[in-house]
Amino acid sequence: IEKFPGVERSMLIIPAIDLKDGQCVRLRQGLMDDSTVFSDDPVAVARRWVDAGCRRLHLVDLNGAFAGEPVNGEVVTAIAAAYPDLPIQIGGGIRNLETIEHYVRAGVSYVIIGTRAVKEPAFVAEACRAFPGKVIVGLDARDGLVATDGWAEVSEVKATDLARQFESDGVSSIVYTDIARDGMMQGVNVEATIAMAQASSIPVIASGGITNIEDIRALKAVADQGICGAITGRAIYEGTLDVAQAQRLCDEVA
């Protein structure tokens, strides 16, 4: 699942750093006006999770998701420069190859294509050809239907159907977010995550609703279905989940 040497195939705990106006924030259900600022120093936040033993970071340019172009790119570049050996994935406002190239040059390992993947699936294949192994597709769903544009629009497309379309493109993984649970601390939607993992051969990274170690345990129990990681945000900032403990649990051999 992982393409980096020396990393075993256990499920990854991936701390989220959501960027808004240069600060690290968390939103509830993707609402920009319902945000909590956790830090005005995102590089220091990255250091905190690296020190806790994370093996990948998940960055989101929230302003970029709504603007359709990178807004917090300087912060992303600073984090990538501070931790050149750490795999970093970035999403939010990635709508063209130029943006992908900018991030790859900055040292980012993976770019997450969300809105454009839904609206123009052929772009995913194009991006995978141009940047092999670097492309993740972000599928955000409410009641199984895909949402776009910073979750402002909900489509009629089933997330699992869309996942199948990308199967032959060379997508590294799919970040699957259950919007209804995101930032709400209500527990992860294990059933929907399994359904997404089973829909295609692409590894799935779970996102949305992860609250405590029990959620990680529940995901780990079904990780062999094709779940390669779990993104966690509010839980690690509010202290209901310990990154080091969660990763240790995932690394334990059953």
Which residues are catalytically annotated? 18, 140
Backbone angles phi, psi at 111, to 5 degrees: -110, 140
Strand 173-178 relative to strand 204-207, pairing: parallel
Cα-based distances in Å from 240 to 14, 86, 186, 209, 222: 15, 25, 12, 12, 22
The single-letter DSSP state of residue 11 is P
169, 134 Cβ separation under 8 angstroms: no
Which DSSP string do the residues of 207-219 spell out, in sequence order? ES---SHHHHHHH
Find the length of the chain: 254
